[in-house]
């Protein structure tokens, strides 16, 4: 279900649902949930199945019950668009939580921070802990290792017999780890693997490190 | 005025033109004036427009004897054309009649190209005769007070019905007609169709099965026999002729003498990219053609296309490379010769293209077939037989297309609203929805109002509302506006307009291609080399470039499958390979070197043999089966067989198919003996195995794309309006997954499966093919390298996947390729 990594002597666990747990800080990082997206579509006449709404909340509960973190940090794009009825569900959900909740706001987060603060959710632009920098957009800052979201990363795997498969993933470079999108009704963007990066694919019930290889065949 | 007097008017007019009306034209006039409905089977360029415009005008004269002095305003007839490019031509012939006969009738066009101002004027004052497209007709139904507009309409004529029949636009037509039948009491319904295998069914679909309309109708055949000669271009050196490929450039020089010999030549290609490449290459090798050589395809801008069409007519062009964009309508008398590059994938299309040449009466049509790879010579030989026997394909009409119905219901809700009971009766009478159940209908109504079957308290779903008296309406202006933009069932990838940075429209390309370009990349489009600068809104900005490039935008062309009859002819031709040279066609004779090569490690199958080849390359283990049954059957058979094999052992396969055979490619060897021992090609449980195989591959997922757009689940944005609706855009793939996980009883989701099943896979033919194979002797050959027969299949890029392995096991053997 999880895959462990160490970054700057700190211990992290990547979970198959796409969340990242920081053991020393007891902090759970969740990125790009895009709550309200389903309702937003429905409000505009596209009948996306309603059950997908509930799924986001149950998936968050599952992840939290697995790690029992002290703090939950949403890495941006928590809400897809403006206020709609899913906010009420979010209010109820927050009330049930015993953890600290922080939102590092992203480009989709246009709901007033005051609304969040009324629920006890802290809204910030970025979070710095020791030499770790948590942002929504990927950033490169000297002396910091960056955790971020925004990209919705996926990776394309190929194998013998012209096999291919595309999976959402954690994408790690020496200075950065991009989290996959957590939300049920969110797409992905396929990244290319680079030298000195590490990729961990989400398989639904497992996280697996991906073998990277030089292209063997030329001209294909 | 009695009928004879009316005929006199018509015949006098024909005399004045020094023409004589054909029997089919007179038959059509009579039937129409008797108030009958019907289907007219006549090819392009036969005078079919006069067969139907005339009775429309004569009928008006009959009802308005003082037609020369007084004008009774209002819509009299609607002419539906599938291509708006044809509308001008149709208008001209209509105006010729209305003017020459001294009526004051007006003729108007209403398509996507019509300006807003003109549309507005039309709304206040409809022309007597309206030429429009299926989509624009739907748009008319989405405007308030449409019933009044159509009240006195005497006829709806659907031109090129064969083009619409097997498509969702055809379904859209069925629905539109079902509404007009109720709104306009005097309506006659007529279709015009080229020859197809199922003409009778075509009539039934147009008029509605078991309706009084159908009973009161006729089928008129033009019976104009035209001599068509097919000549294959035989490669001079068969030894070096490629075994695969689809461009055909190898034979470029063989085309030149043909072009030189005739006045105007049309070169038909199968895709727009092939069209671009041929245009470029011919000019490169033969710059002397510059100025009298042009290109015509659907993505070239309208002005250029109109110019090309005009230039063909006034004989100022020597040759034009084109795609199906020149298949229909528009008579080009000066065209003397037609060259078909690559297999035309369809006898009907081949005949239609052949008919483009030698238009003057009595002249024969000549079409040259240029093979792009060796196997296509067999196809060429079979095509000759097919032309002789008129072995034309069927167009299979859709059944229960819930996506189109939802779109239509929303359309009615947007205009004047609708009462379900009334509309239910109407759609029950159409071919497409004759089998719809009460429960399905209720589901659809619920879906429109609540977005699914159960209403939950926090839901804000908004689309169609129900008024107190039970009328379904759309009151939200935003929803109405978005719906009007979305009307239309031809689904393409999002299109991006290509423009010069300084302005100047060049054409439109699918977003998929543009998304792969980086700034500075050079690509060929509309016959020019263009450097990509940036995408802004829905536009790609470019500038001219002198750099050479091999990047040509690709368009996903429709891949038609061979009909049962054509496949049979193909097999017969192949079987002649075993005969004496004298008994073979020249195409088969010319293939002798390839057959020799094929026989080195394998065989050329005889009528009683079913060939299976296996070999290994660096791509993996290839397992190739040759039923020679046409693409559709192979698609189904490969899917079913792969599924059955996956039950025997955990395996992952990639499937490829063409009209000759199919391949299962895997990273592991499949034991063919085990496949045979377990009788995996049996017809037993065929249906359920086929159905189950669909769950493990992507076919249904791909079908869902169109369904999601048509039913209004995915909003594609406002074309060319530059308004971004990003927050409402999602991929249909994403939606498919959400349905799969949370609402798999949704009728639209299920439609994706039934459509694949019924429309793509041709279950009936699969059964016959399996029965035929059961009676054959199976010849399994293990080879050391690919055979000539296998080449076109194993190099196919479009593949289906099927897997019975755990994802974790699979990806352990896979890698991500590093960026260079």
DSSP per residue, B627-645: --S-HHHHHHHHHHHHHHH
- DSSP letter for B300, please: B
Among A147, A150, A208, A182, smallest CA distance to A63 is for A182
At residue B269, does pLDDT exceed 70? yes
Residue among A45, A162, A210 whose CB faces B619 most closely: A162
What does the alpha-carbon distance between residue B593 and residue B644 come to, in Å, rounded to a whole number?
Answer: 37
Give me the mean pLDDT over the B518-536 stretch.
79
Give the HSE-up count for residue B80: Cα atoms under 13 Å, Cβ half-sphere. 30
Residue A30 forms beta bridges with which residues? A74
B637 exposure class (CB count in 10 Å sphere: 0-12, 13-18, 19+): buried
Find the angle CA(B411)-CA(B413)-CA(B418) to the nearest 5 degrees.
Answer: 115
At residue B726, does pLDDT exceed 90? no
Give me the mean pLDDT over the B685-699 stretch.
83
Q: Which residues does chain A have within 8 Å of residue B402's beta carbon, measured at their own beta carbons? A: none
What does the alpha-carbon distance between residue B35 and residue B49 come to, in Å, rounded to a whole number?
Answer: 18
| B807:A203 CB<8 A | yes
- Residue ranges of chain A with pLDDT lower than 70? 215-220
Q: What's the pLDDT band for B720 if we cut at 50, 70, 90? A: very low
Give residue A181's pLDDT.
96
Give pLDDT tens digits for B24-48.
999 999 999 999 999 999 877 678 8
According to DSSP, the β-strands at B505-510 and B495-500 are: antiparallel
Instruction: Return the residue of B nearest to A154 by Cα.
Output: B816
Instruction: Return the residue of A nearest to B744 by Cα.
Output: A49
- Contact yes or no for B130/B111 (Cβ under 8 A): no
Give residue B395's pLDDT.
85
Q: Which residues does chain B have within 8 Å of residue A194's beta carbon, measured at their own beta carbons? A: 818-819
- Contact yes or no for B627/B610 (Cβ under 8 A): yes
Give pLDDT tens digits for B632-666.
899 899 999 999 999 998 999 999 988 899 999 99
Distance (Å) from the C-alpha of residue B784 to the closest C-alpha of chain A? 17
Q: Which residues does chain B have within 8 Å of residue A163's beta carbon, measured at their own beta carbons? A: 652, 654, 667, 801, 810, 814
- Contact yes or no for B208/B178 (Cβ under 8 A): yes
At residue B470, does pLDDT exceed 50? yes
Q: Which of residues 643-682 of B touch A (CB under 8 A)?
A: 652-654, 665-668
The reply to whether A110 touches chain B by the CB within 8 Å rule is no
User: Which domains are present in chain B?
Assistant: 3-221 (3.40.50.300), 228-389 (3.40.50.300), 402-473 (1.10.10), 495-544 (no CATH), 602-812 (no CATH)
Q: Count the neighbouring beta carbons within 10 Å of the beta carbon of residue B737.
A: 16
The CA R_g of chain B, rounded to the nearest whole Å, is 28
The reply to whether A188 touches chain B by the CB within 8 Å rule is no
Q: What's the pLDDT band for B534 if we cut at 50, 70, 90? A: confident
What does the alpha-carbon distance between residue A157 and residue B388 come to, in Å, rounded to a whole number?
Answer: 50
Give me the mean pLDDT over the B93-106 stretch.
93
Residue B107 three-state SS: strand
Give residue A214's pLDDT.
81
Q: What's the pLDDT band for B74 if we cut at 50, 70, 90? A: very high
What does the alpha-carbon distance between residue B779 and residue B777 come to, in Å, rounded to a whole number?
Answer: 6
Residue B109 forms beta bridges with which residues? B131
Give residue B555's pLDDT.
46
ipTM of the complex: 0.86
First to last CA, chain B: 82
A37-46, B705-714, B717-726: which range is least confident on average? B717-726
Percent of chain B with pLDDT over 90: 49
The CA R_g of chain A, rounded to the nearest whole Å, is 18
Instruction: Return the residue of B nearest to A188 by Cα.
Output: B734
The reply to whether B618 touches chain A by the CB within 8 Å rule is yes
A145-159, B9-23, B505-519, B690-704: which range is least confident on average? B505-519
Q: Count the neighbouring beta carbons within 10 Å of the beta carbon of residue A92.
A: 10
Find the angle CA(B243)-CA(B551)-CA(B796) to the nearest 5 degrees.
Answer: 30
What does the alpha-carbon distance between residue B324 and residue B275 come to, in Å, rounded to a whole number?
Answer: 10
Residue spans of the domains in chain A: they are: 2-209
CA B163 to centroid of chain Cα atoms: 7
Residue among A81, A155, A162 whose CB faces B816 most closely: A155
Give residue A183's pLDDT.
93
Report pTM. 0.85
Distance (Å) from the C-alpha of residue A129 to the closest C-alpha of chain B? 32
- Contact yes or no for A38/A86 (Cβ under 8 A): yes
Give me the mean pLDDT over the B536-549 stretch.
76
Q: Which class is A2-209 in CATH?
A: alpha beta
What does the alpha-carbon distance between residue A151 and residue B146 come to, in Å, rounded to a whole number?
Answer: 48
Give residue B271's pLDDT.
79
B360-364, B729-733, B806-810: which range is least confident on average? B360-364
Find the angle CA(B607)-CA(B608)-CA(B611) to the nearest 5 degrees.
Answer: 90
- When the pLDDT of each residue in chain B is averaged and rounded to a whole number, the result is 87
Higher pLDDT, A10 or B729: A10
Phi then psi for residue A2, to 5 deg, are -130, 165
Give me the mean pLDDT over the B556-575 stretch.
77
- Contact yes or no for B676/B670 (Cβ under 8 A): no
Q: Count the neighbouring beta carbons within 10 Å of the beta carbon of residue B244.
A: 17
Find the angle CA(B90)-CA(B96)-CA(B99) to the nearest 5 degrees.
Answer: 130
Among B696, B762, B701, smallest CA distance to B733 is for B701
Give pLDDT tens digits for B274-284.
888 899 999 99
Question: What is the sign of the dihedral through the CA atoms of A120, A124, A129 and A134?
Answer: positive
B600 exposure class (CB count in 10 Å sphere: 0-12, 13-18, 19+): exposed
Q: What's the pLDDT band for B560 if we cut at 50, 70, 90? A: low
Contacts 24+ apart (CB under 8 A), B715-721: B715/A44, B715/A46, B715/B482, B715/B486, B716/B486, B716/B494, B717/B494, B717/B538, B718/B485, B719/B485, B719/B495, B719/B538, B720/B497, B720/B538, B721/B538
The reply to whether A45 touches chain B by the CB within 8 Å rule is yes
CA distances from B167 to B231, B432, B558, B699, B766 (A): 32, 11, 12, 18, 22
Q: Is B451 left (phi over 0), alpha (psi -120 to 50) or beta?
A: left
Among B283, B299, B281, B300, smallest CA distance to B291 is for B283
Give me the mean pLDDT over the B160-178 stretch.
92
The reply to whether B718 touches chain A by the CB within 8 Å rule is no
Give residue B493's pLDDT.
46
CA distances from B573 to A41, B341, B607 (A): 55, 20, 11
Q: What's the pLDDT band for B454 if we cut at 50, 70, 90? A: low
What does the alpha-carbon distance between residue B169 and residue B517 come to, in Å, rounded to a whole number?
Answer: 33
- Contact yes or no for B577/B588 (Cβ under 8 A): yes
Give residue B362's pLDDT.
64
Q: What's the pLDDT band for B310 if we cut at 50, 70, 90? A: confident
What does the alpha-carbon distance between residue B530 and residue B517 come to, in Å, rounded to a whole number?
Answer: 12
Contacts 24+ apart (CB under 8 A), B251-255: B251/B370, B251/B371, B252/B278, B252/B281, B252/B282, B252/B285, B253/B285, B254/B370, B255/B282, B255/B339, B255/B370
Among B212, B196, B146, B216, smallest CA distance to B176 is for B146
Give residue B762's pLDDT.
76
Instruction: Tokens for B403, please give them.
Output: 């996506």
Give me the mean pLDDT over the B710-720 stretch.
70
Among B163, B719, B257, B769, smallest CA distance to B496 is for B719
The reply to whether B745 touches chain A by the CB within 8 Å rule is no
What does the alpha-carbon distance between residue B389 and residue B391 come to, in Å, rounded to a whole number?
Answer: 5
What does the alpha-carbon distance between residue A128 and residue A136 come to, in Å, rounded to a whole number?
Answer: 13
The reply to whether A219 touches chain B by the CB within 8 Å rule is no
Among A57, A1, A30, smallest CA distance to A179 is for A30
What does the alpha-carbon distance between residue A95 and residue B262 come to, in Å, rounded to a whole number?
Answer: 83
At residue B727, does pLDDT exceed 70? no
Give residue B538's pLDDT.
61
Give residue B352's pLDDT.
82
Among B17, B314, B36, B310, smallest CA distance to B154 is for B36
Q: What's the pLDDT band for B722 if we cut at 50, 70, 90? A: very low
Q: What's the pLDDT band for B589 if we cut at 50, 70, 90? A: very high
Q: Which residues does chain A have within 8 Å of residue B798's beta carbon, measured at their own beta carbons? A: none
């Amino acid at each position: 279900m999880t895959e462990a990594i160490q970054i700057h002597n700190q211990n992290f666990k990547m979970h198959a649902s796409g969340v990242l747990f920081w053991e020393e800080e007891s902090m759970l990082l969740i990125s790009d949930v895009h709550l309200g997206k389903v309702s937003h579509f429905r409000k505009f006449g596209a009948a996306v199945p309603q059950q997908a709404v509930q799924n986001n909340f149950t998936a968050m509960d599952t992840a939290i019950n697995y790690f029992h973190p002290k703090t939950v940090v949403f890495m941006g794009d928590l809400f897809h668009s403006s206020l709609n009825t899913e906010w009420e569900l979010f209010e109820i959900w927050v009330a049930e939580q015993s953890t600290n909740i922080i939102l590092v706001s992203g480009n989709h987060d246009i709901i007033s921070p005051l609304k969040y603060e009324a629920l006890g959710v802290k809204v910030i632009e970025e979070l710095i802990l020791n030499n770790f920098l948590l942002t929504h957009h990927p950033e490169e800052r000297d002396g910091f290792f960056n955790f971020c979201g925004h990209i919705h990363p996926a990776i394309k795997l190929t194998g013998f017999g012209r096999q291919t498969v595309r999976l959402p993933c954690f994408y790690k470079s020496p200075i950065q780890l991009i989290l996959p999108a957590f939300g049920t009704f969110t797409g992905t963007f396929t990244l290319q693997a680079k030298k000195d990066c590490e990729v961990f694919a989400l398989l639904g019930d497992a996280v697996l490190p991906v073998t990277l290889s030089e292209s063997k065949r030329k001209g294909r | 005025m009695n009928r004879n007097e009316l005929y006199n008017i018509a015949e006098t007019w024909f005399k004045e033109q020094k023409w004589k009306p054909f029997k089919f034209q007179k038959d059509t006039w009579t039937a129409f004036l008797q108030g009958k409905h019907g289907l007219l089977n006549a090819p392009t360029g036969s005078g079919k427009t006069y067969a139907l415009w005339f009775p429309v005008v004569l009928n008006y004269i009959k009802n308005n004897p003082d037609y020369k002095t007084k004008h009774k305003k209002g819509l009299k007839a609607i002419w539906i054309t599938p291509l708006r490019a044809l509308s001008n031509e149709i208008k001209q012939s209509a105006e010729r009649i209305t003017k020459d006969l001294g009526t004051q009738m007006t003729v108007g066009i209403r398509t996507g190209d019509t300006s807003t101002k003109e549309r507005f004027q039309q709304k206040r004052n409809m022309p007597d005769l309206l030429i429009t497209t299926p989509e624009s007709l739907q748009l008319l139904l989405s405007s308030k007070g449409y019933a009044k507009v159509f009240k006195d309409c005497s006829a709806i004529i659907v031109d090129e019905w064969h083009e619409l029949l097997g498509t969702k636009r055809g379904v859209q037509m069925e629905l539109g007609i079902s509404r007009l039948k109720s709104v306009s009491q005097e309506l006659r319904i007529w279709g015009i169709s080229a020859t197809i295998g199922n003409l009778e069914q075509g009539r039934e679909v147009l008029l509605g099965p078991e309706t009084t309309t159908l009973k009161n109708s006729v089928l008129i055949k033009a019976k104009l026999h035209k001599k068509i000669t097919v000549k294959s271009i035989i490669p001079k050196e068969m030894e070096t002729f490629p075994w695969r490929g689809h461009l055909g450039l190898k034979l470029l020089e063989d085309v030149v003498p043909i072009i030189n010999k005739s006045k105007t030549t049309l070169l038909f290609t199968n895709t727009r990219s092939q069209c671009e490449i041929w245009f470029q290459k011919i000019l490169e090798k033969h710059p002397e053609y510059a100025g009298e050589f042009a290109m015509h395809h659907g993505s070239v801008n309208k002005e250029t296309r109109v110019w090309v069409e005009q230039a063909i007519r006034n004989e100022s062009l020597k040759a034009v490379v084109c795609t199906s964009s020149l298949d229909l309508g528009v008579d080009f008398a000066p065209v003397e010769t037609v060259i078909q590059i690559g297999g035309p994938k369809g006898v009907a299309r081949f005949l239609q293209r052949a008919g483009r040449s030698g238009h003057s009466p009595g002249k024969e049509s000549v079409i040259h077939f240029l093979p792009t790879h060796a196997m296509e010579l067999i196809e060429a030989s079979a095509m000759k037989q097919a032309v002789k026997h008129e072995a034309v394909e069927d167009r299979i009409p859709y059944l229960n297309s819930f996506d189109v119905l939802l779109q239509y219901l929303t359309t009615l809700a947007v205009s004047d609203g609708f009462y379900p009971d009334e509309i239910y009766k109407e759609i029950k009478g159409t071919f497409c929805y004759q089998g719809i159940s009460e429960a399905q209908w209720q589901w659809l109504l619920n879906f429109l109002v609540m977005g699914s079957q159960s209403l939950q308290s926090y839901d804000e779903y908004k689309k169609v509302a129900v008024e107190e008296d039970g009328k379904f309406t759309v009151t939200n202006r935003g929803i109405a506006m978005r719906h009007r933009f979305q009307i239309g069932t031809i689904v393409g990838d999002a299109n991006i307009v290509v423009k010069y940075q300084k302005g100047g429209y060049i054409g439109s390309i699918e977003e998929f291609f543009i998304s792969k370009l980086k700034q500075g990349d050079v690509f060929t489009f509309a016959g020019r080399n263009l450097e990509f600068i940036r995408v802004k809104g829905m536009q790609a900005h470019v500038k001219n470039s002198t750099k050479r490039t091999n990047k040509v935008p690709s368009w996903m062309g429709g891949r038609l499958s061979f009909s049962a009859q054509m496949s049979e002819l193909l097999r017969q031709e192949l079987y002649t390979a075993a005969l004496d040279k004298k008994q073979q066609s020249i195409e088969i004779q010319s293939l002798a070197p390839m057959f020799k090569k094929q026989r080195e490690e394998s065989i050329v199958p005889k009528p009683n043999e079913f060939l299976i080849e296996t070999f290994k390359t660096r791509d993996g283990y290839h397992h190739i089966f040759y039923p020679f049954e046409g693409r559709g059957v192979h698609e189904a058979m490969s899917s079913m067989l792969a599924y059955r094999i996956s039950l025997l052992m955990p395996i992952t396969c990639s499937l490829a198919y063409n009209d000759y055979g199919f391949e299962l490619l895997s990273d592991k060897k499949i034991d063919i003996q085990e496949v045979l021992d377990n009788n995996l090609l049996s017809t037993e449980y065929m249906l359920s195995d086929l159905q189950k195989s669909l769950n493990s591959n992507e076919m249904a997922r791909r079908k869902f794309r169109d369904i999601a757009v048509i039913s209004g689940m995915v909003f594609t944005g406002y074309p060319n309006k530059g308004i971004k609706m990003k927050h409402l855009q999602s991929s249909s793939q994403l939606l498919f997954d959400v349905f799969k996980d949370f609402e798999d009883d949704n009728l639209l989701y299920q439609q994706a499966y039934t459509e694949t099943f019924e429309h793509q896979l041709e279950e009936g033919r699969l059964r016959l093919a399996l029965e035929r194979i059961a009676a054959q002797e199976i010849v399994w050959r293990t080879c050391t390298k690919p055979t000539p027969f296998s080449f076109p299949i194993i190099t196919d890029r479009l593949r289906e996947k099927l897997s019975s392995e755990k994802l974790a096991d699979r990806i352990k053997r896979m890698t991500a390729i590093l960026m260079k």
